Structure 1
Amino acid sequence: MQPLPGFPLYRCRRLLLCMLVSLPFVSPAQQPSGQPYPDSLLQLLHYQSNKAEKAEILFQLSQYWADLDSGRGVTYAREALKYIPHDPYHEGRGHYFLAGAFFEYDIPRAQQEYQQAIHRLEQRKSREAVLLLSKAWHNYGALEQRQGREKNFAAILLNKVVPLATQAGDTLRLGNYYLSLSTVFDNIFDYKRAATYALQAAAVFNRQQPGSEYLIACYTAAATSCLSLNDAAACKIYLDSAAGYVNRYPDSRLGPAYYRTTGRYYNHQRAWPQALSHLRQGILLAENVNRPYDATTIKMELYQTYKAQGALDTARQILLDIYRRPYVREMPENMRLILRELASTDSALHRPQAAYDWLLQYSSLTDTLTERQTRQQISELEAKYNYAEKEKALLLVKAHAVRQKMLLWGIIFLLVPFCVVLIFLYRSLRSKALQAQQIAIAKALLYGEERERSRLARDLHDGLGGTLASISIRLSEVSGIPAGPLAPISRQLDLAVSELRRIAHNMAPEALFRLGLQAALQDLSETHSNSRTTVTLQTMDIRDDLPQQVQLMIYRIVQELLTNITKHAAAGEVLIQCSQLDDMFYITAEDNGKGFSMAGIPAGKGIGIQNIRNRVAFLNGKMEIQSSPGKGTIINIELSCKPTTPSPSSL
């Protein structure tokens, strides 16, 4: 039978367990709701020029003939493959229909085609592809069931078929899949779960297709499971529910299963007339709708009915009829059951020779079947061994890949911090080098500035200062009288000489070189004191052994501080504190002037402040300024007393 949309059949329990293989779906040609006619399809094919439409018609013909003539079904399916578009979905669909054509007579080839279809359909995520993928998995699982691997079918239904149908939103076909699950669990004697899935299927059909004839299969399956659980009351309820739909659809292909289960129910009740009536109706309907499997399983139930009544001759005739059926001969396991029953029946009828002959056939078939099963087990073991070896090789490859990946990530994790450290060190060294370069430039500028100051001071003092002094002396000699007409000029000339000496003194402080830093600072403070500003100097622990370049830098810093305060602070009082502790020298300049906003310092760095910063940097020191408008200014400076380079001789 063709495994296209429809419903599972049900195995005959007890003696004929393997007689009826549960198939997934019947084709649309077999469904009760109208049949396509092959002549009409062939006529359409003759006038059709579109390749896609032609392939669709050929697939329908393949579906139709798959159940009636498998060879013709395969031919039409292969012909259709010539016209399909070359993309994963259409190729997968083609392999799906070809697998359906092989379903009845070549199980390995059918499974191979379903695998090809699954491989291609899994590459597409469209709803149509997912729907067809769920059907392909279902039919593949049904072939697993045919080969006695019920649990494989159950796993495929639960893990593949139902999730895919749910993903595609195919709620109606989900009812079909629940029916398949009911069949599988019934065949492995899990009757409670079988009944549960049958009722789930009924709920789906009642919700999606109220009054559908498919409810015959749902309630029949539930009744069958309840009968196996010896729950006759529940069985009768479900049979009554199924009977209403059987009466509505008297020619349904799903009816024979109902009559078989109803006959079994009356057999359990020992109501033989009702059992015989329903079983005969079932056989007649199965033969009319071309369901030979159903007819055979019902005949087996009919045999059990006559045997239970003691009508062994009639029971024997039914067994012989089953024995002659080709479907039974094709299934050795079923044939063994029939042979055993024939031997038992002939023995009960006192026909020892016939019983002996049946037993010989039974024994021979058992040996053949055992040998076949042994070969199959050996093949399966070999396949498992080969699979295990391949798995080992694959695991080794994966482990090697994982190790390489871990090694690569380990190298990356090590390199990243290493690179970060290198970048940090590079930037730090570059910053230090740049800073050292800037300090060196500042030092060079300061050295150059001090040399130029000394040179200018000497030139002014020795050159221009001497010339002016000589002019003043001669002018005094010429005038002769202090109060004469040249007296004002002489006084202005004396002032010019004094100013020149002051400038020369500032440029090259003679007091610093002759008397030391403390005396020079005191002289500097007195020089900047005037009628408007009082400068107070406080010193503490200033040593006389400070290097000359350090003393000069300290002097210039204090000089610049006092100059800035005098020019900009408008302060009445200024306090300068200088102290020394080991190799550190501290300067604090505090005034009560107008102050300024700290926010303005970065934007407008004055020349005086920048000169102070350069000299502080020269001595590896740091400076802190505290000021606010109207509250004066405090400047704290820390300096290192160690000279950074030898003092030039010119200083």
Structure 2
Amino acid sequence: MIRNYLLMLCFSLVHFIIWGQEIEQLDKSLKDATTEEQRFKALLELSDYWSYQDTLQAKKYLLQAKPLIRGKDLLQGIYLFYEAGFYYGNNNPKSQAIYMQAEKYFKKIDTKESYRYRAKLWHNYGALEQQKDDDKAFLDITIKHCIPYALKSGDSDLLMSYFTDVGMLFYNHKEYEKALEYYFKAISLVKSPEQETENLLWAYHNMFDTYYMQNKLDKCKEVLEKSEILLNKLPSKKLAALFYKNKARILIKEKKFDEAQQAISAGMKLADQYNLYWDKFALKYEKAQAYKEAGDMVSAKKELSELLADPRGTMSKSRMVMINEIAGMEASLGNFEQAYRWTREYKVLSDSLGALDFKKQMAVLETKYRTAEKEQAINLLESRNLLNRTFMISGLVLAGLIGLWIWYALNARKKRTIQETLLLKQQREIDVAKALIEGEEQERKRLARDLHDGLIGQVTGLKMNVERIARDHQGKHHQDGHTHHQMDLAVVTEQLGAVILELRQTAHNLEPIVLKNDGFEEAIRHFCQQMESTSTKINFYARGLESLKDSNIELPLLRIIQELITNAVKHADASKILVQVGVEDNFVLIEVEDDGKGFDPNQIRRNMGLHNLEDRVIALGGKLNIDSQIGEGSNFMITCQI
């Protein structure tokens, strides 16, 4: 037992070491990028990596990649593919809608890369359909879209994953031999060690499940051993949680319940690390099985009840299995009334699923796929004949290509000239915006000095004179009986005090002393506290702001944040405002989110405040992204390089 525990501990340490190497490799790819397209793809890979662990980081890299699209259909499609992945699992309808937007761009392009992304986006779209209990839609999409596009892309790794998906669907409906047929078909595509990828590991995991359901434990152990060897070779550990799930299942069969629980705990840590809800769900289910087999029905029932109560829900067949198990546990505990209630719920769910003749539908779809395979073989023969004819024509085409190349070179020079002119125009706009902002700041400082040295001093002197007059005439007022004059003077004194306070506040806002004395972070916190009220709660979070040292950057950033918070308080009717400001890798990320009444960014008229905000962001060379809907609050995201 101790030996197995130490092995699992060592295995977990290897995972975390390689996980660190993975992010280092991604960061290196970004630093080594020599072209805009390489940088674009490296940023999206980083966004995808962080989307499993830190959504703020993921969104930062996503927004940095967006300006590099430059109007190219392929890059626009790739960007939308990763943006849909950002929402995958958190906002599934939005994720599916964005995948379909990406498909519109990829359809315009007839390249292997485009077909590879089309296969992947349709797979993800289908997986979300499967989470809605629509196995038929998933199978239909896999056969009609994923497999054909994977073949056109020439990517055998993708094809391997889609054969595995088809096998998994047969497994879900207890067609175990059929499932194994597709798993072996997937594994047969691996011809060299370089092709031993994460998709091969996915095939092993599903093959394990099938052998497990057939009670072939020797086969299970063989597959588990292959999984462990492959997992140690792979840089990504997103499928490691499922390895621990399978490890636990073997240990439960061997009645090693404590070791099984240790394996489950290790798997859950990895599932949390990568934010993998379904993997955690599977591990929690195995935890219940370990308790059940150990005779602890109360703990087992508690785990299953928590799974059923999860608001994210589970697929109907999984719910049916768990409900049936809980009914049996209640009966074994002597709770016959509860057992009867769960049995009735199982019957209702079973009847609703029984209405679907899914096996027939699967058979029809598979027949269509087999027919399509034969048609592809015929098309291959026809393609060979066409190739022979193509060689005969190629000599004539070559001359035309030379002419096209000359035309392309002249056209490329013209485009480059236009692009350089556009860049100069953009730089001129930034310079103008900077000059306007600097002029505005100088005027603010002048007004602050004039208020402090002139008007505030004069009003303060006036207040002191009124107070002196009130004291000098206090006795006389008592004798004459005109105490109301004294009361009037007290009111005037109080009003003058309020005027002085407001003038001082205005002077401080025009030239923030807190920024100068206490620094950027304290200046933001002070302003948040100043704007907060009983009806509006403002939460402020900062990260890495101590690296900001340049007042020429701090002051414009502070003005931007003040404008965003002021708009949320005055115009949005917000009760909660979240302010996040962070600095990392020479990038500043500002996010201000509120739960106010929201607005339509495409319809709203640009008032002075919003114009000032956009001018300040442009002057810093940054990007402003507004996400708002009427009745659903607003989110302002600003990124700029420092």
TM range (shorter): 0.3 to 0.5
In terms of fraction of residues, the more helix-rich structure is 2
For normalisation by structure 2, the TM-score amounts to 0.43
